[in-house]
Every structure is written in structure tokens, then in C-alpha cells.
Amino acid sequence: MDLEHELKELRVRVAVLENEVLSLKGSPAAPPLRRPSATQPPLPAPPPVPRPAASAPKQGTEAIERFKKALSVQTSETILKWAGIGLVLLAVAFAVGLAIERGWITPTMRIIAAGAVSIALFVVGQRIRSTRALFAETLQGASFVAGFFTAFGSIPMGVVSGEVGFAAMVVVALAALVASYMLNSPPIAVLGLLGGASTPFLIERFPEDPEFLASFAALIAISTLIVFVATGWRTLLVSTAAVTWGMLALAADESDSAPVVISIAIVGIALWLVPLGREILEERGTLVKAPMHHLEESLEPLLKGVIHRFAITAPIVTLLLAQTAELSRYQWSAVIGAVAVAFAIASISLHRFEFRQFSLTHVTVSALLGSIAISLALDGDVLMISVPLQATALWLIGRRLDHKPMIWQSHVLYVITMFALIVRAGFMAWEGEFETLSIITDVAALLLLVWRSTLKDQAAPWLAPAVHFTAAVYLIGPLDEWALLLGLVILAGITRLAAHADIGNFSISTLVNHVVIVLAAVSVAASQYETTYELEWVPVVGLAVVSLAAFARLLPGRFSDQEAGLAYVGLIALVVVVVGSNDAAITAAWTAIGLATLAAGVRLEKSIVQKAGWATLAIAATKLMLHDLESTEALIRIALFFGIGLAFLGLAYLLPTHLAPQPHEDDELPRIDV
């Protein structure tokens, strides 16, 4: 009896809580339930409210949503911090260099100051690590960059000898690798990798000594792979492969000596076996999986399956790098055949230990390398036969093992065979007139594309788009006066209104016309930048940009997003039209527009707006590094780098605190079902 009474009391309390929650949300509260008496029968339980079942996602929607998803606030903050601190460091370096050039400070004072800055950055980062881990990681990464360039700068200034400076640079790179493991920071490990890899080039040991470069690349690969075994950072693995293979490619281009070939073989075997062995040990539970860094989380879609990709690319890249060795085709056939046998043995062993996916990957590589070895051993004309034979073998193995990637590889090889036959027939039929064949193919593809687009649109009236295209061609042909650009804007407005009123199908022609407007605006901007500045172009291009923005905002349709993007590109061009050839002003304006756009995209949770901001910042940074670095005066260059770097850091600091999207009202109070 007591239990039944307590259940009645609990039901009343839950009902009261529901009324309070509904009143907080602004909804009309349900009438309160009366407290039951001891003699009153229990209240009947309310009927369950049916809820619609969650529909299963359609095939392909997950990939589309992942593509549309913008960068997280955390990732955006990280990118801005690293870019900002890099620009600030460059500004400081330029300022110090200018001071030395004008005799304000001595080289020894410069080295001491740079070392002090490096230590201060690391200490400050360590102190704020508990509260702002990402910002601390940026500062500590910058400390190693500053320390590395301090060690390098001591050599040309005569503070230390070349051997001591080289040893100091290596020590800083190794310290970055050790610190990355202790601080759980893959970006610092990548910085250590890049610093170590740049050492032979900075001390000018290449191209005079390619053997040293190859041996040093092997040592770098071994050092970073040790950190990879301890941490499992796939970003470090991919970076190691890209950097060391690039160094080995440069060394192999200069020399085919035994040390170079041996270094190539060591790196290739290490990049094949070390990731594979660590993955196997991790799956068996021998290695404890380290907590995932946010960089690894953000790159997870790209890094997924990277161990399988390394099992495929490591032997292929290694064999390509070793092509400098003076071997005959038959000797290469034996070498590649031996590698194919090694992968076949590895596949059998992996299959025996129940690593089926790795076994299938290795048998695929073995089949590919085996077919290449057979093709090299046979005469070159037999290659046309060996490729379809290989495709057939892969298809049979794929069907036998139910391995869809292998079946797709066979299909690709069949397509390659058919393409090769068609090309051969084309060469014979046209007697080597490749240009004529290309023009015919392009025209046919264009006609097919147009036909399919009209078919998809249910054969809407074709005369209006044809007339529109003709008018656009006549307008953009002799683009000599500003009236032509106004004519394009008027034409775009007319067709946009006609499409909005459903008069005709202008979907393709309208978009093309808007692209032409932007191209014309960019052309005007280029002429304003390179030739005499003409003020009358400013209102014309401004009108074009405003018109495109108005079309996208006031006349929504299937191309509104594209129109908004084109208007944004026009805004970037308008900056050049307004300021002319002032490089510093152009870069500063583009940076301000990019930062404002990125901040608005993060605040409004608009992925396309964020991407526009990132693209603008990338363009501004590229112009800053490739053009403004040489074309601007020293003091202006320092101010530009310093100001943009501080702007990046400021936005990075404000993103998670002031600009992050606020939680929705529906997410604050969960619904209580009684």
C-alpha cells in the first residue's frame, strides 16, 4: 500500500515539473493534477504518444552532408592561430633584419633576443595549457619555430660555426619531437619534422651532397616513425611520407649511387611495415590507443584507411624512386617480381592470423606488381595483352573473395584497355592529326552536355537561352567601354526576372551571364591595377556587384547561392578597382573582408559563408607571401605582416568566446514525457 501511494506522489511531481518546463518555454501549461487522496482510485496512465520513426538516411546523403559541413569553431580557431603566429613571427624577423641592416642591433644581440623569445613563448604556453590548450599549443609550436631559426641564423652571422649551427638545428628538431610526445601535440611533431627536413637545404649540403640528403631523410623517417609507434598519429605518418619521399626524389634526381638507393629502400620498407605492424598490435590490444587529438578528429574522413593506402603506395613509390638505378628491364622485372612475392607471402600470413582486410590489400598489390613484372619480362607489344589478362585475374579473385575494391580495379583496367585501343585506332585513322580529333571530341562532349541539360529540364523553350547567349557574345566581344558592362548587368536582370516569372528556362544562360559579369569586373580590376587608374569604373563595377547581390537576395531561385558567390567575387575585384595598384591596401582590404566573412559564417552557422571567408584569406595570404614580400617597402611590409597576424590571432581568440553560435532555445530545456 505504501509503494502504491509513493507511485501516486511521484506521478504528481512529474506532472508539476512538466507544467513548469512548458511555462518556461512559453507554452500553455496543462491543468495541474489534483493530489490523490488515500481512498481515491489511482489515475489511469496516459496513452503513449506515437512518435514518427526516424527514416534511414538515403544512400550518399552522409557524404553530401559531410561535404557541406563547415569547419568547426575549434578547427577554425587552430588554423587562424597558427597562421597568425606565423605572420607575427615573420614580421618580427623582418623587423630584426631591418634593424641589423641599419645597424640598430648587433648579430649577437639578435640571437640572444630570438632565443629569449623562443623560451618565453614555450613558458607562456605551458602556463596557460590547463585553461587554453589550443592557444598554448600554438605558442609552444611557435617557440620551436623561433628556436630553429635562431639556430640557423647564428651560422650566416658568424656567431657559431656551421657544424655547431647544424647540430643546434638538429637538437631543436629532436626536441620538438620529444615535446610533441609529452604534450600530446601532432602539430608540434610535424613542425619538428619540417625543421629537420629543411636542415640540409639551409646549410647548403644539397645538391652538392645528395648521398647526405638521402641518408638524412632515412634518419628523419626513422625518428618520426618512432614517435608514430608511440602515439599512432596518422597526420605525422602522412607528413613523414610526403617529406621524406620528396627529399629522396631530389637526391635520386642528382645521383644513382648505392647510398641513395639503400636509403630509398629503407624508407619504403619502414613506411610499409611500421604502420602495418602498429595497426596489428593495436587491434590485438598489445598497444594502448592514445587519446585522439582534435587535429586527428577533424581529419578523420581523410585519414580513414590510411594504413591500407600506405600498403599500396609504399612499394609503388619506392620502385618509382629507385628508377634511377641502372638496371635493364629484365632486372627490373626480377626486382618487382620479388616485391610481388613478398607481398603475396605477407598476404598469406595476414590471412592466417585473421586480418582479412589487410590480406586482401596485400594480395591486390601482389597481383598488380606481378602483372608489371610480367609486362617488363615480355616484349613491349605484349603489354596490350597483359593488361586485360591482369583485369581478368583481378575480377576472378575479387569474385572469389567477394572483394568489391578488387572488382572495381578490374573494371578500371578494362576501361584503360578500351581507351588505349580507341586512341590507337584514332592515331591510325587520322594519321597523327591529334588536334583535329581533340576538337571533334570536345565539340561532341559539349553538344552531349547541352542535350542532357535540356533533357533534364524537360526540353524547356530553347530559343530564349539561344538569344541570350547571342546577345552576351555580342556584348562581351569588344569590351572597350563601361557601357558594355552595364549592358551585361541589364541583360542579367532581364533574364533573371523572366526566370523568376517562369516565362522561360534561363537557368544555364543566367548563370553563364553572371559568370561573364564577374569576369568582366575582374578584367576591369586587372586593368585598373596594371594601367592608368580611371575613377569612372568604380561606380560601374560597384553597380555590377550590387546587382548580383540583389538578384541573389530578392529573386531567390536555384542559382541564388551561385549568384551570391559571384557577387562576393565581384566585391573582391571592386577593392582593386577602388584602390588601384596599392598592394598593401589591397591585401589589407581582402584580409578584412575575409575575416569579417569568416566571423559572420561562424556566427550564423553558414557553411558557404565560412568557405568564402577562408578562400579570401587564402588569396590574401598568398598575395602577401608571393607578391607583397618583394613589392612593398620594408616598414610597410613589417606593418602589413604584423597587423594581419594580430588580426588572425584576435579573431582566433574571439571565435570560441564571442562569435561561436549560441545554443538554440529548444536545446536548453529537454522535453519531459510523462
Q: How confident is the model at residue 655 (pLDDT cuts 50, 70, 90)?
A: confident
The cell for 659 is: 562569435
Residue 447 cell numbers, joined: 553538344
Which pLDDT band holds residue 228 (cuts at 50, 70, 90)? very high
Mean pLDDT value across residues 574-579: 77
Omega cis (within 30) before 207? yes
Mean pLDDT in residue range 354-361: 82
pLDDT of residue 478: 43
For residue 287, the 8-state DSSP code is: S
pLDDT band at 594 (very low <50, low <70, confident <90, very high): confident
Rounded to an integer, what distance in angstroms lies between the CA atom of residue 519 and that of residue 593? Answer: 20
Highest mean pLDDT among 8-17, 74-83, 269-278, 571-580: 269-278
E strand or H helix at 359, and its extent?
helix 356-377
Average pLDDT over the chain, rounded to an integer: 73
Asked if 16 contacts 32 with a C-beta cutoff of 8 angstroms, the reply is yes
d(CA 626, CA 140): 27
| pLDDT bucket at 189, cuts 50 / 70 / 90 | very high
Provide the pLDDT confidence category of residue 562 given band limits of 50, 70 and 90: low
The per-residue pLDDT for 622 is: 80
Residue 402 in contact with residue 357, Cβ under 8 Å? no
Q: Element (H or E) spanning 272, and its range?
A: helix 258-284
Residue range 32-61, pLDDT digits in tens: 545 544 444 555 555 554 444 444 444 444
Most confident region among 93-102, 114-123, 568-577 by mean pLDDT: 114-123
Residue 503: pLDDT over 60? no
Does position 280 have pLDDT exceeding 60, yes or no?
yes
Residue 222: its pLDDT value, please? 94
Asked if pLDDT for residue 460 goes beyond 50, the answer is no
Look at residue 13 and give its three-state secondary structure.
helix
pTM: 0.54
Residue found under cell 604584423:
642
Q: Bigger pLDDT: 272 or 570?
A: 272
pLDDT higher than threshold 50 for residue 235:
yes
Residues 6+ apart with CB under 8 A from 628: 583, 584, 587, 637, 640
